Amino acid sequence: MERDAGDGVLLDCPWVPVCISGSQLLAKTWFGDTAYRILLTDLHSVWEEEMDTTAIQDRAQARRRTHTHTHTQTKELNRRLRAPVLAFFSHLCVVARPCLSGQVDVGVENGGATAQLSLNPHGGDINLKLKSELAGVPFYWEFRCTLAPVALACSQLVRPLLLMSRLLQRQVGQLGALLARKDTEIQDYRDNGAVLSRERLQTELFEEQSYRENFLTQPSARMAILGTPPRPRPR
């Protein structure tokens, strides 16, 4: 499989919000020539699936189970489909990738192809069942996502978030220092007789400590830090 390439590219792919069968998830996907990787999370668990050319070919012709109230039936996923893996994988990319990347709503027509995607819990795992048409023939696919190991969740979700938080904190510090220098520059102009042409352009001195304290008292900041919703304002 194109695993090494997939690992690197997947790390660069963004997490995007998707809604499938009423479930709000974050998804990260990578599609190669005839391979894919998919990560899903509800921020409580992380699920993954990784498929190569052979596995995709086998699943396309594999059997699927359908459950009724009285018995279980076994049917081929694509009984009437006889096509090279590249052909139906190309179609899979066209109909599934937009749904899993937040580009279109699930079940909405996309470039002439309509995909219906549903989510089905399976023990601790989740299955995404896709239904579409390929050359007038029904096309079915199942993304069978299993719980991801902690190491994968950390490398793809936790560490990038911690790194971004650190970079943003550094950027805030740099911007605060820049504002302080700007205030010093403006004060020097004033000391040398410079006057604003419009009074409304005048600004207060930037005090970083006061700014940080005020920011932490904002409802949005409390919600982000403590995980609690802000109190509604009285009317």
pLDDT digits (tens, 9 = 90+) for 169-215: 999 899 999 999 999 999 999 899 988 888 888 888 888 888 877 87
Q: Is the pTM of this model over 0.85?
A: no
Flag whether pLDDT at 230 surpasses 90. no
Please name which of 233, 203, 235, 234 lies closest in space to residue 218, comparing C-alpha atoms.
233
| CATH number for domain 3-148, candidates 1.25.40.10, 3.40.50.720, 2.170.210.10, 2.80.10.50 | 2.170.210.10
